[in-house]
Structure 1
Amino acid sequence: MKLAVIEGDGVGREVIPAALQVLDCFDLPIEKIPLELGLGKWEKTGQAITDADLEILKNCDCILFGAVTTPADPNYKSVLLTIRQELDLYANIRPLKPIKGIKGATGNTDFDILVVRENTEGLYSSIEEVGENEAWSKRIITRRASERIAQIACEYAAKRANHLTIVHKSNVIKADSLFLNTCRDVAHTHNVIHDAMLVDAMAYDMVRSPEKYDVVVAPNLYGDILSDLGGALVGSLGLLPSANIGEKQAFFEPVHGSAPDIAGRGVANPIAAILSVAMLLDWLNRPEQARIVREAVEKSVLDGIMTSDLGGKASTLELTDSIVSHIVSTF
């Protein structure tokens, strides 16, 4: 199996090596293909990602990605959007589940939400025009994309509590009715219990009563915002992993950004990147090894070894070493 390894910018260069330490504990038959993408490459070459880079990625089975810095420059081509669209990684999967020993902003730890976000269209379609006095972005919702994201959401729901919440804003944005109705039709076909929530009401209720929700399916922008809100619920964006799934390939990354303000200081939280490796192991149909990784993270936290975003004093390296130690002790 070929794994493209992209550290990216900022703290990506610190958390991805940490994640690889964890992955290497299992001695899997993986060929790692390092690739430089992002702002650093753009500053050196004028391109953040090239056609040659995309060809390399298309020839890999999966990708482990750190984070990239996106400058406010209209000539900068978004690395993430380009990869998602070119490789057709249509499903963004973001679990929101507390880790024992960490409380989020509300103190509620009784929830386990899976946000399934459509990943290729919506307001992130990259069809835009920016002028001096007017700017616009074209928002695209298609039946095909709505059907396939609803399909994968229903598959997850069937393995969990068999409940799906469809997020929309069709009372104001009429295009959302296509997404809503298509998801309802797919849920009916799969016999998945489902309801629907307006996105603003959903944001409010996720904070108030997150335990009510199981699998949440949403168009691109709504899913992005709601899953980041989940960072406050679990305690930090540094705890949130994600997967971008396509028909044949997958892309794993921490939800957090490149955090240039703390880059290079050795204090970045590696947990989101390490939990992204757990999602990679699940995708490789190695659930036992994924479980070991998650339990090792939890044990380290309960030992009090945490980075500063969680109120601790551990460095990136110290937390990583603790997690690796717990993994090795299981063998």
Structure 2
Amino acid sequence: MTSYDIAVLPGDGIGVEVMNAAMEVLRALETRIGSKFTMTVHPAGAQLYSETGNALPDSTLDACRKAHAILFGAMGLPHVRGKDGTEVIPQLDIRFALDLYAGVRPIKTWQGLPVPLRDRRAAEIDLVLVRESTEGLFYARGRGTVEGSGDDSYALDTMKITHKGTARVCDFAFRLAEQRKAAGKRGHVTNVDKANVFTSMAYWRQIFEQRAKDFPSITVENAYVDAMALNLVMKPWQYDVLVTENMFGDILSDLIAALVGGMGMAPSADIGDDHAVFQPAHGTAPDIAGRGIANPSAMLLSAAMMLDWLAVRHDDPALVDGARAIEKALQTSFEKKEVLPFDFGGSSTTADIANAVLRHL
């Protein structure tokens, strides 16, 4: 039996609750696919910061470096902030420390769940947003300054776009489009920028177009971020893979989650050349934490993404079987109307959804 060491960081709020569901499902998969998941829980998060002054202990980060993969719940609490007034968000520290440059946000419609768009083509939504996650405007985190005084004071945050950072995330998006095309999807990449206004974005677009030449089987287009926000609401079914800067990706990834019902169905991964973190795209939801009603679907789907990534990295097709088993079990649970999450107007608890998936594995 092949064994994989998984660093588990449940974090804050509902992160703990949805992580428990994911760990239960992964344990149930072990005998089915002949793999062993050694899941070790490590401390990190805003609550830890409020208690110790350290949101991400060195021991936790070291464990992340040594693990085969990192499974992450949710971190951050609105009332826990650093000296500069910003929230304590250790997941950003992990991205920078492990050079996790590709933020992968897949979104699809799930049969059996209602969607907010009335157009019947909404049933065809199946796209992936790839967000550059180590620079862009997020480069300014911890580097911003407030200058001057009184009425003449102002704040500065610097956006950083490098050739290396842009080229590698564009290549990631092109390779992903190739994989999707091989699976019968469109094989199309849309670059999202603001090249009509910012020099940094014009530079980004130049690099995108240069890298596109190395992927002749993939069709491409450019779009401004404001127009893309409109088109993602009006006709999201026409998109395949999007690639964009860090801040734009942060915003658009929430928008696309809304298209299929909300953050409870939005898995994600932050992937680098050597490490990867898998987590639901939602936050800690302190308003419902402890009530047992959080939708664990995004967490379960993030675990499936982890299995897919490990399968490629370690040439282990059994893990692909495990990923598809999780997805199929979740889909069956929705199609048979066995569960309906609270965020879709239902009454199914976290445990209800996890147990339904376990029954169908």
TM-score normalised by the shorter chain: which range applies? over 0.9
Tell me the CA shift for residue 104 of structure 1: 2.2
Matched residue, 1:264: 290
How many angstroms apart in 2 are the aligned matches of 1:113 and 1:272? 15
| CA contact 1:49–1:77 (8 Å) conserved in 2 | no
Aligned residues with identical type, % of pairs: 37
Paired residues in the alignment total: 327
Describe the SS at the equivalent of 1:32: strand
Describe the SS at the equivalent of 2:70: strand
| CA contact 1:103–1:109 (8 Å) conserved in 2 | no
Could you tell me which of 156, 174, 179 is aligned with 2:176? 156
Matched residue, 1:102: 113
In terms of mean alpha carbon deviation, does 37-46 or 68-77 score higher? 68-77
Tell me the CA shift for residue 72 of structure 1: 3.7
TM-score by length of 2: 0.88
AA in 2 matched with 1:300:
S
Describe the SS at the equivalent of 2:47: helix
Q: RMSD value over aligned CA atoms?
A: 1.4
Matches within 5 A, 1:86-125: 86-107=97-118, 108-125=122-139
How many angstroms apart in 2 are the aligned matches of 1:301 and 1:10? 25
Tell me the CA shift for residue 130 of structure 1: 4.0
TM-score by length of 1: 0.95
In terms of mean alpha carbon deviation, does 22-31 or 241-250 score higher? 22-31
Query: Gaps (5+ residues) in structure 2?
Result: 181-185, 312-318
User: Does 2:62 correspond to 1:49?
Assistant: no
Could you tell me which of 262, 281, 290 is aligned with 1:255? 281
Query: Gaps (5+ residues) in structure 1?
Result: none
How many angstroms apart in 1 are the aligned matches of 2:332 and 2:346? 15
Matched residue, 1:275: 301
Tell me the CA shift for residue 77 of structure 1: 4.8
How many angstroms apart in 2 are the aligned matches of 1:61 and 1:136? 38
Could you tell me which of 231, 235, 245 is aligned with 2:257? 231
User: Does 2:322 correspond to 1:289?
Assistant: yes
Could you tell me which of 247, 257, 265 is aligned with 1:221? 247
Could you tell me which of 178, 196, 204 is aligned with 1:171? 196
Matched residue, 2:160: 140
Runs of 4+ that moved beyond 4 A: none
CA distance 1:77–1:12, change in 2 (3 Å): closer
Describe the SS at the equivalent of 2:137: coil
Matched residue, 1:202: 228
In terms of mean alpha carbon deviation, does 39-48 or 194-203 score higher? 39-48
How many angstroms apart in 2 are the aligned matches of 1:260 and 1:130? 31
Task: After superposition, give the CA deviation of every residue in 1:83-142 in whole Å (9 maximum; x if it has no partner).
Answer: 000000110111011111123221322121110110100111122124673222111100
User: Does 2:38 correspond to 1:31?
Assistant: yes
AA in 1 matched with 2:91:
L
